[in-house]
Amino acid sequence: MCGRLGLYATPQAVAERFGVAVEVLPEFAPHYNIAPSAETLAIGAGPHGRTGRALRWGLVPRSAQSPRQARNLARRESLRRYWRTPLEAHRCLVVASGFYEWQASPAGAGGESSRPKTPFWIARRDARPLGLAALYSTWHPPDGGASIVGFAILTRPSRGPCKPIHDRMPIELPPESFDAWLDPELTELDALCRLVDEPSPAEALTAHAVSTAVNAARNEGPQLIEPADGGCVEGLV
């Protein structure tokens, strides 16, 4: 799924990972609880190569009457049917140090659990930033107000450490796929779908339970990703 993101990598680390100059990145501060409707860093194709830009999390369909109709996530299985236009022409990489997923508590005798879900922080073991496959679009309000450029993160069935936590996870692309994903000349649907179907990078992701303080979007700070009781889940994606 992916309901929250964190980004605390330095501009230098982002520049190295995504092959851009620090000068083309917008200023950004560390954030450990990025929720939908907030702006965060994305990498896209510019007139002179890759560039960085702050985009709003939530792609508002062109036909929408309100930004409340934004779509935060785009299922891989629905790309051809619902997301063809942005897939062909508006692709980017959302930069994240990691993301949160919530694991449901075991159901009781009655079939439902009254306990809150457990949040997990999931990140690369080598601490490098993730490049999450995303689509973006520009929405123009019917009343002529300010336009919104928003993105939706692509998701797929979970693998590796995410599998016991949630049934879906964001799609991370390996660096060798960055050029093709960001290439505005690449519009062939089969080729684009193959990119997001490839296995994620071979490096392990790690996952550990964190405090439910992350549930409130107003909470912020590095303490949100510190391990809480619940252990650690590790694996390869």
The pLDDT of residue 63 = 87
The pLDDT of residue 207 = 93
Q: How far is CA 192 from the centre of its chain?
A: 18
Q: Is the dihedral of CA 84, 180, 187, 93 positive or negative?
A: positive
The pLDDT tens digits along the chain (237 residues) read 678 999 999 999 999 999 999 999 999 999 999 999 999 999 999 888 899 999 999 999 988 999 999 999 999 999 988 899 899 999 999 999 999 999 987 754 455 556 789 999 999 999 999 999 999 999 999 888 899 999 999 999 988 888 899 999 999 999 999 999 999 999 999 999 999 998 765 457 899 999 999 999 999 999 999 999 755 655 444
Residues 47, 58: Cα–Cα separation, whole Å: 25
Determine phi and psi for 180, rounding to 5 degrees: -65, -45
The pLDDT of residue 107 = 58
The pLDDT of residue 231 = 56
The domain made up of 4-106+114-236 has a fold known as: hypothetical protein yedk fold (3.90.1680)
Residues 235, 174: Cα–Cα separation, whole Å: 17
The pLDDT of residue 160 = 83
Residues 125, 114: Cα–Cα separation, whole Å: 33
